[in-house]
Structure 1
């Protein structure tokens, strides 16, 4: 199997533990591959450094949402596969947040809407996985949806505390400022959103101090498998 865009190897390790056969990790960033045990290969998803029909299965996870031409990448996956291509991709436009802090769900939705409007790739394509695989020439396509829940609840760990700190400081929102402005949000609109975001963060910290804060973010993922 070939794991394209493996990053630091999260999916690669799962495949090696759960599936029979060898799993090769490929990524364009050699520094990320430093975190993955071999075999690893530095390579571009649009120009994979392998001959035709090298692998039984070519797979990626949360890669296509970051590519400007995902169908072209899938055609390249099909070129080096002699059997199947599988993708695991989210629909980031359908993420939901359930929180004990009033207003967090609505603010998260507003921030996501502005961010998505400014992104130049299709970060919602998970729900269109079937049509994208079909456009790449794959057959016998099967799609399954599953919802991934990210939950924060007592006892809180360091990552939970850091997330709350970034909300209260506005640092987390600030990293996406330019993307939001590219999506049509005005500077005044961003400042207003950030002010409300920081207050929400302070409310989160207050509830965390009382051990009452709970938050669940649900991200829909689509697993699509097609035959070459």
Structure 2
């Protein structure tokens, strides 16, 4: 399973549930007594679960550094362990949920089966569809370059990062009965006046940090020359973004779709 830094998780998950949480309605959070957030990372989803449910929320992740952030910021119970093999007794929870976890696993069905064993009622997955991300920018090169990087990344990554409408069939294969499917859109907008985070994101583009983070996957899909050309074009685009921000003319909008699928354990409530 891929490893992520706290900074990466915060950057990619921030604001995901700040607006409408209607897509979480099928989880019946108000009725939950004990919830497991599998692959909780730094606890972005756990905060939402804790805010929406009177029940106990437990964060499970294999990375103790990520969990230390989650515990420090939420005060929730944390357990270090493999999310694909939860170290809990059978039927320990009435909801097991994961966010952006299955797309990083070589065998998502095995994880869903493990979640089913831990739950008396529901299992839910909230997964991004990375093949359907939309980007608009006043720097035209940013749109085309992000599309090229996304296509190369999807081709080079060793897991299915674009599960999309496959999720219900994966639930069925794991012995879960899908009861609800929703799509939630994570919208991120950068426009004047720019905050420190937006300016830091522009600087990251100018340095080519995003390509470095995904270099292994990109090099699987690109020749060395293709990667070098893409890196140079990306950095040039980043410098154009920085300059446009100095002039106050830069605007960017990104929409990342997340599929929310809820399945019932056989014999559940």
Q: TM-score, normalised by structure 2?
A: 0.81
Question: CA contact under 8 A between 2:171 and 2:178: conserved in structure 1?
Answer: no
Partner of residue 49 from structure 2, selected from 10, 15, 38: 15
Partner of 1:24: 58
**1:110 and 2:144 are equivalent in the alignment:** no
Partner of residue 165 from structure 2, selected from 127, 133, 152: 127
Partner of 1:202: 239
Partner of 1:78: 116
Partner of 1:58: 96
Q: How many residues align?
A: 227
Q: TM-score, normalised by structure 1?
A: 0.95
Partner of residue 182 from structure 2, selected from 144, 149, 158: 144
Alpha-carbon distance between aligned partners in 1 of 2:258 and 2:209, rounded to the nearest angstrom: 27
Question: CA contact under 8 A between 1:133 and 1:141: conserved in structure 2?
Answer: no
Partner of 1:68: 106
Q: Map Cα deviations across residues 182-215 of structure 1 (whole Å, 9 max, x no partner).
A: 12x1111111112221221121111101111011
Partner of 2:224: 187
Instruction: Give 3-state SS (helix, strand or coil) of 2:260's partner.
Output: strand
1:72 CA displacement = 0.2
Partner of residue 214 from structure 1, selected from 230, 236, 251: 251
Runs of 4+ more than 4 Å apart: none
Q: Which runs of 5+ in 1 are unaligned?
A: none
**Please, which moves more after superposition, 102-111 or 156-165?**
156-165
Partner of 2:39: 5
Instruction: Give 3-state SS (helix, strand or coil) of 1:6's partner.
Output: coil
Which fold has the larger relative contact order, with Cα–Cα distance below 8 Å and residues 6 or more apart in sequence? 1
